[in-house]
Structure 1
């Protein structure tokens, strides 16, 4: 394949297209208190508003990546951007939590058409392994910094506008991105031969949603264990059926042979766990800063700036270091550093952060950005060019499924510890509704109706949430540390693939 002369311009176009997609993964984290109060949303509705986006994307990325290999990456990219634009407008003016959940679902459909094509276009545009590592490093920068930048953008918008502005900001961005991608990204002849079956795609989506729904509902007070286990069994059965169909097919939607390469498996697992831990931690810290510490959305976003800046640096650093240190050393080392930072943050006082907290936020951003870029290099550098879309969708699935499961798992953990630790002051128990224990947002809503006694319930809520927040951060640290050991073991015999054109 001849080298694309304007390849760096192509890279700029697809990275700019990636910006609103990745920011939308985290921009709502900072808006949770505002959404809760403005829409009167329950804790469960809030989790679905945030969660439906990564979960639908996780289910669609594989079929969309495979479809793109058949119909063309440029066509899919432009279609996805247009859908994303329309859904952003609907979300911005959603009158209820249910409508917002639906709009987020459509946003996910558009985003799932964009994500795998960005990675595939990068893979096809850069034949040189060193250039490709640098390009993927810049992609990792946008991914890490964009996700971290989401809360800052959200905080700034919420400081000056209503909550819908966090979606409406996508409109001017798309007005620039769409024509840029149309004129710059080359149109290539599709090379994919995999079948695209709607039933299999639907089974994967329903399987993921059913499994996560069972997880969310199963731990709620008064829920039926039998019902939750039954729904979980159905969800897992659908996922198993999807995998079996891929293994049996001569032209599968998801090429399972990619998972025979240890480096690709390690990359996918890293993407899954790191994004899960990061999403859960970000959501928890955003609520801690606003509900407990009392910072405004903008102040909470600024608090996370060390994470943003360090994440922006991590991608290019990883692309540079992997040539000298090697992937098998860089990947586990970055995860261990991230685990250390999470541990320190877990025992820190966010009321009086000091230098240590900001340093640990920066260390966390740098380490996770390097780790995510390393996972991208592991996957895309070991995948053949004609399976670039499938490999890109596999990596994207790891990111989105990780984010969705992270929000679910840490959300359930946070909710249960919070409910257990919340001590409603004597004399107020009869005045506080039963669902007030479901989340700190619902407790704060309940406190609004208590008049002069509101402060007593709010203080009890803050104490309970701080305890839950600490447990979530320490749990994330433990998971990432275990992942570092597993990745180090999986990559112990890894050697970089030979440089060659395709």
Structure 2
């Protein structure tokens, strides 16, 4: 017998979404650990983190269509089960390559969960104000999960086997799947709904080719990477054209003709890039530069996590009072200001100020997320709720993947240009040591004496601090530019 309680449904949906959000960032704090335990190089480390959101970006679209076909309840049950199995696989990975594979399976399950949960909320909460509250809880779970990922990871890494960062998903999923099976009503199957696997694969390949060419081409400017990037771009263009011409597209491209959907997608993507990029770099800075343990590094950014957690409660009344456009523009401006302030603060000697700036960033970014989510879902017809949910979820995962990629590449770019290890390493060793601070630490064991190690470490710390500051300033300018762009061109208030 089903219990028709939308608040119980909301709690179930949030509970299912939470592990998906945590897994997006739980490994950010584990970069040094994975490097040692699995002997992962810098490229493998980036793919371990990035394969999850990047695959989800392409898979979410076809899963949104699948949700329209079989119903969000079935999709949540299937997705949750796959996510649980993949969590066990990831926890017991013995090589970097198997962990990458396991994270890909995690992405498959998560890509089912995200559009299904949003579709469930869209169907359950018909009243706009109630829906905004429910979306606030969903966004808060996503933001808090992503924000608390490093703290959860840091605690588990310090006290347990590293694979426990994935095993904690299992009890949560078992409980949530029971509630989905028992209390969420079934939906009617839409047999005529077509599932376009080919176009989804095309989108995934396009994204992976572009990201691969970016990551590899930065360190080795080579014609083959330009060709790979061009192939990815061409596939992306073909994908868009096929969506316009298809009778059964993965999602209705015409949804982007609605200003609320188009600008909501842009805001959500850019905001997630900023959140994930900041978190990834600050976690490395706290461990490498300030020599904090994973747990202490996670605790150091606790104010940011708390701000993300309570932001949904604060932003919901603001959204109902002022509307999505005003909330989005103000949130982006405040995020820009806080990013700049974080670029100049010293986390070690000015920790109180850094806490204030992190709180400001967490609150403003979360408000931007909620405004974007409300704009996308409210701008789409109810009949296309799953497709709209897929677009929103895709923006999150695309932003996560791009955040890791662009922040990682920019940090590497600035780091490489501010270190000089010519007198300490051979040419082959220099090519490795100057790529990132993590690889500098890996090469320190090759140095002959302690005095050389001290000089290299101090140089690495100075270079990473400068790189970190430069990336945050650049991010601040991007957020401010987006705020200005939105205020000028978004003519429609939702």
Q: 1:299 aligns with which of 296, 300, 305?
A: 296
Alignment partner, residue 462 of structure 1? 461
Alignment-derived partner of residue 131 in structure 2 = 132
TM alignment of 1:49-448, pairs within 5 A: 49-190=48-189, 194-220=193-219, 222-224=220-222, 226-424=223-421, 426-429=423-426, 432=429, 434-448=431-445
When residues 30 and 192 of structure 1 are mapped into structure 2, their CA distance, relative to the original with a 3 A threshold, is farther
Contact 1:425 1:460 in 2 (8 A): no
RMSD between aligned alpha carbons? Answer: 1.6
- CA distance in structure 2 between the partners assigned to 1:285 and 1:470 by the alignment: 10
Aligned residues: 490
Alpha-carbon distance, 1:482 to partner? 1.0
CA contact (8 A) 2:264 2:375 kept: yes
Match of 1:500 in 2: none
Q: 1:482, 1:193 → 2: CA distance?
A: 44
Q: Could you tell me whether the CA contact under 8 Å between 2:34 and 2:40 is conserved in 1?
A: yes
1:13-71, CA deviations, whole angstroms, 9 ceiling, x for partnerless residues? 01000000000011111111111122221111111111100000001111110111011
Unaligned runs of 5+ residues in structure 1 are 497-502
Partner of 2:9: 10
**Helix, strand or coil for the counterpart of 1:253?**
coil
Shift of the 374–151 alpha-carbon distance from structure 1 to 2, 3 Å rule, reads same
Shift of 1:167: 1.2
TM-score for both structures, normalised by structure 2? 0.96
In 2, distance between residues paired with 1:45 and 1:438?
A: 14
Q: Which range is displaced more, 117-126 or 172-181?
A: 172-181
Distance 1:317 1:5 in 2: 28
Q: Secondary structure at the match of 1:188?
A: coil
Q: Are residues 1:477 and 2:476 paired?
A: yes
The 3-state SS of whatever aligns with 1:412 is helix
Cα deviation digits, residues 352-402 of structure 1 (max 9, x gap): 133211000000000000110110010111211110100000011111011
Indicate the SS of the match to 1:381. Answer: helix
Q: Is the 8 A contact 1:191 1:386 kept in 2?
A: no
1:192–1:448 CA distance, 2 compared to 1 (3 A):
farther
TM-score, L = length of structure 1: 0.95
Shift of 1:127: 0.7
Contact 1:193/1:251, CA 8 A, preserved across alignment:
no
Provide the rounded CA distance (Å) in 2 between the counterparts of 1:431 and 1:122: 55
- Bigger shift: residues 451-460 or 4-13: 451-460
Q: How far off is 1:432 after superposition?
A: 3.8
Contact 1:144 1:312 survives alignment (8 Å):
yes
**Does the aligned pair in 1 maintain the 2:260–2:492 contact within 8 Å?**
no
Distance 1:488 1:427 in 2: 52
Higher deviation after alignment, 166-175 or 354-363: 166-175
Q: How big is the shift at 1:428?
A: 4.2
CA drift at 1:191: 5.2
Q: Offset at 1:456? A: 2.7
| Pairing 1:24–2:48 present | no
Asked if structure 2 preserves the Cα contact closer than 8 Å seen for 1:154 and 1:166, the reply is yes
